[in-house]
Amino acid sequence: MDFSSVLRQSPLLRDLTLNIDGTCIPVHTGTSYLCRLRSFTGSVQNCAAISSYAWALTHLTILFPEHRRHDMQNRLGSDPPIPFTLALFPRNTNRAVTSLEVRAIGWKGLTGRYPSLLCPQALRCLAGAFPNLTHLDVSLSKKLCHYHSVFAALPALQHLSVRVFELMREQDYWRPPAAIFPAEEYETQLNEDLSSLLHLTKVHILLWGKRTETYLSGCESCDRDAAPPPDWLIEYRFGRAEGRFALLEMTATTGSEWVIEDMSETVAALSRVRQTFARTGWI
């Protein structure tokens, strides 16, 4: 369905969300409708079309069909075929957009459990199309260190939220999440790779540590009566004060239970960090 005729009759729209299936917005160069649109959520093609002429647009949410679990495991070692190209998103597509979110949509339009992953090339294309981003929320196909040059190309960035899907090694199945994904490594990466982003003050990292299916289906020596190892969902929240990033909060989830990681060894350090942020007005 060509949705452009409907949009022409709604020139005062400020927020718009379109289903990723069955709607089409052709690219119209120089059109004047949707001149007041501030927020749009829709498919890749519709986001490309809308962002090319809705000059008041500040928030853009790009939706993808959810990748299923078996597809996700097969794609971890390669770049997923997500159609971000200069043909769709040329450089400086829309310099007014300051907030960009890319997420998966599952069955019946609900937010998907499995993320749509962006390779560095795809995210670099989006960074070039929307160079004035202050808020970025995306899922990555590789480790954070592969994207530092992309993030560095967004000098106005203030708030970064990333999700990373990783298959855990068998020897890590029963280790605590902080040992599998040490916060110190991410803190070091942020301070080394993103120090040039002077406005960046908040970083949220969501890690999904997923055990391989071979544990249940292909492991002949596994104890079938034992409880399976957990899948970990780990959240790290970093803040910045006096020029350096520091861990503010860590939460680990397994199944339906919440587990707060024991951080007794760093309580004093975190207390000092929180006092510093309180003085600077960050918290």
Mean pLDDT within 45-71:
81
Phi, psi of 55 (to 5 degrees): -75, -10
Render pLDDT for 92-135 as a digit per residue (tens, 0 to 9): 999 999 999 998 776 555 454 445 678 899 999 999 999 999 99
- CA-to-CA distance for 21 and 42, rounded, in angstroms? 9
Instruction: Sketch out the chain's domains with CATH numbers.
Output: 1-163 (3.80.10), 168-283 (no CATH)
Render pLDDT for 22-49 as a digit per residue (tens, 0 to 9): 677 766 644 566 788 999 999 888 899 8
Question: 137 with 100: CB under 8 angstroms?
Answer: yes
pTM: 0.78
Question: 32 with 72: CB under 8 angstroms?
Answer: no
